Amino acid sequence: MERGLPWDVKWLQDCATLRCKQQRQPEAAVLLEEVAKRTPPHPATLNNLGTVYNMMRDHEKAQEYFLAAQQVAGHDEPDKDDLWNMGIAKKHLGHYEEALPMLLKALEGWKTEEPDDDVTIAKLHDTVGSCFDLMGRHAEAVEQFASARLLFGRSIGADSPLYGSACEGLTKALLHAGRYAEAFDRLEETFLNHAQKDAIHPTPIFELLGLALEEFVDRSGVDPLELVRLEAPMEIAVKNMVYRGLDKDGNAGVVFERMAQVLLRCSMAQGDEARQRSAARRRELARSLLGRAVPLVEETTRSGEADLSHISALITMELQVLDAQEHGISPETPISSLVPEWPEDLPGDMPGAPAEPLRLRHCFTHTGGFSNALPTVHPVSSLRPAELRRLRKRRSEAAKPPCNLKELVERESCEPHIFAPGQHFNYCGVGSRLVARMVEEVSGLTISEYMQKHICEPAGMTDTGFFIDESLAADCVSTDYHPWVLQAVADGLFGCWDRWRLRCRSIYARLCGCALIDDLKPAGTGVISPMKLWNRSSKLYHPDAGLVGTGSDFVRFLQVLTRDASEAPVLSPFVLKALASPVTEELQAPFALDSVSVERLFPVRGDRLPRQKLLRPFNSFPGQRFSLGASVICEPKKVALPPRAAGTWHWMGFASTYFFVNPKEELAACFLTQLVSHRTYPILDELVKGVHDALL
């Protein structure tokens, strides 16, 4: 600075340029303001200040400097540079209708006056493309970004950050246009550009990985196996970060965790031997990345620099998922390899041999073909021979109840199946019991202990479990029965006299106009077991209808299902994603066994149904498909729901406890009663429709 003009100004300008390239725009602005003080007004200085303030998102101030530059230059009408600068500022201010004509005119000006300047013309195509995309004109945005990518590629090469920027814009425009396959091609190219450049930075790497997970896989339904294509670019990014010393802070830890999450999503232990070897390699890389991330994230939290405890919780869950995958556990794993008492060869009334073994996926999706039918779920008139034989046996023989879940599953393993696994959807609780037994085998805990340790306690659900404290007895409510369902309840009872007595009571209640029967299950009695809820003598835990809790605990559970990513999770993102991702066909005939089509989420009392013998209303879920645990609304129009209900997943309890979760709207709701049956009133339809209609 001692040499005076022009050397001090040149030094200030060079330093400002360097600070911009280092993403240190506030410092660059201070330096350029000093240049403006030391020199007479000049268009270049004013335009540079406008550009820096645009980068700092102070677009009003940027616009002031661009106007001043135009005035100092003596332009009565803005030239192509003025139009470009002002167009950018107005675009950032959200004034797209003003910005677009300016940018298009600037582009035409450069093409006419300097047609060989590929780089500048490409930059303008890129800017026009972003304006089109923000306006919702995605097809036109795609054309502009594609032109920018082509010009950058032939002039400065695919390694240039500008080329990467055009690819990223093209990725998002294609995604918004619904052209997912092409968009993922460009995402892969964009990621590689960022991964191998000299000025690599963790933030865009993290954001692109988030785009791959959230926009492509979660929202757009792209096959998670497509994420395999990011494996090699991620390894390049890690090596580049290590080489440049960017692997030693919390930012790196967060990026490494996100990379591991991507690898986990495409590393299920399934397929042929070659695919399994590839998946194992990705799991090994994921474990290595999580190992790098743990100390970085923990130190950032411990030092007070940032609270990354939610990332630490995610890492713990992801390591558990890795352990499960390395045990060979995936939706495709045969149950016989997870539950010792389950046979490889299934007994049943199935025509021919099953095409595949019973898998974990079948248990989650009610497609296992089990013959354990309850008359309160499926009418006796619809039961197949194997189901009828089991019902008659249950009604005529007072069998000793099993002592625990293992013994219950052992008994089920000898029973026939009514169709081959995967052939149909047929609601049945046996699948839940097999999943629970698998958990017991892997964890070494009972399902009650496991749920308390890993779900109820972390979620703060202190009053939920398979048993309750006797001090809560006064807070219990009875399970009420609607008279119309008593006939079905009677069909499942042991003892002829008890069945006829309840049938007579059903007729009497209807003739007398009784609304509810409240003395069959007094307060404090379990839905399945007649024992009191605080009687801990039984060690048989029914995962399909055994939990009891409070309304406030149920709300806490909904919070777990909709928890923000910045909060410490109780359920891993993989579980939440699995619950919201349909994996079956639509739950209608012929896939849904003996189902019927109605214009609601599922049929209820009073609906006009066809008069046919083989009819199972509770298999009927129009416009819906099943995920690994819930029914997902895929076509809301079919069930007279608002479009925003698409992607909502839901389920209900036997005594009319209803809930739904809409991940896209970050919304959940429940309606809790104690009324059997859950098909008495259209409560779920009204709940889902009413809440979504109220959205602004």
Tokens read off for 353 = 């041999």
pLDDT value at residue 79: 85
> Are 353 and 448 spatial neighbours (Cβ–Cβ below 8 Å)?
no
Give the confidence band of 305 by pLDDT, cuts at 50, 70, 90.
very high
- pLDDT tens track for 522-539: 776 776 666 777 777 778
pLDDT value at residue 252: 95
CATH of 331-444, one of 2.60.120, 1.20.58, 1.20.120, 1.10.3470: 1.20.58
- Whether 246 shows a pLDDT value over 60: the answer reads yes
pLDDT value at residue 565: 59
Mean pLDDT across 572-578: 84
- Whether 168 shows a pLDDT value over 80: the answer reads yes
CA gap 180, 254 in Å, rounded: 27
- Whether 18 shows a pLDDT value over 80: the answer reads yes
The string of DSSP codes covering 411-475 is HHHTS-BSS-TTS-B---THHHHHHHHHHHHHHSS-HHHHHIIIIIHHHT-TT-BSS--GGGGGG
pLDDT value at residue 224: 87
pLDDT value at residue 4: 61
pLDDT value at residue 134: 94
pLDDT value at residue 214: 87
- Whether 228 shows a pLDDT value over 90: the answer reads yes
CA gap 108, 512 in Å, rounded: 84
pLDDT value at residue 271: 65
**Facing residues of 657 across strands?**
672
pLDDT value at residue 529: 67
Give the residue, 611 or 369, on which the prediction is more confident: 369
| pLDDT, averaged across the chain | 87
Helix (H) / strand (E) containing 66 = helix 59-72
Give the CA count within 13 Å in the CB-facing half-sphere of 398: 2
pLDDT value at residue 503: 79
pLDDT value at residue 528: 66
pLDDT value at residue 563: 77
Give the residue, 445 or 44, on which the prediction is more confident: 445
Mean pLDDT across 102-118: 92
The string of DSSP codes covering 325-350 is HHTT-STTSBGGGT-TTS-SSPPBS-
- Whether 352 shows a pLDDT value over 60: the answer reads no
- Indicate the SS3 state at residue 591: coil
Q: What does each C-alpha distance from 660 to 159, 580, 597, 601, 689 come to in angstroms?
A: 47, 11, 21, 12, 11
Share of the chain above pLDDT 70, in %: 95
pLDDT value at residue 166: 96
pLDDT value at residue 118: 94
Q: Residue 393's CB: how many other CB atoms inside 10 A?
A: 10
Share of the chain above pLDDT 90, in %: 47
- Whether 517 shows a pLDDT value over 80: the answer reads no
- pLDDT tens track for 248-283: 999 999 999 999 999 988 887 666 778 888 888 999
- Whether 1 shows a pLDDT value over 60: the answer reads no
pLDDT value at residue 256: 96
CA gap 179, 139 in Å, rounded: 10
Give the confidence band of 40 by pLDDT, cuts at 50, 70, 90.
confident
pLDDT value at residue 269: 61
- pLDDT tens track for 112-163: 999 999 999 999 999 999 999 999 999 999 999 999 999 999 999 999 999 9
pLDDT value at residue 353: 57
CA gap 318, 573 in Å, rounded: 9
Give the residue, 577 or 433, on which the prediction is more confident: 433
- Whether 206 shows a pLDDT value over 90: the answer reads yes
Provide CATH 1.20.58 ranges for the chain.
331-444
Give the confidence band of 319 by pLDDT, cuts at 50, 70, 90.
confident
- pLDDT tens track for 355-375: 688 999 999 999 999 999 888
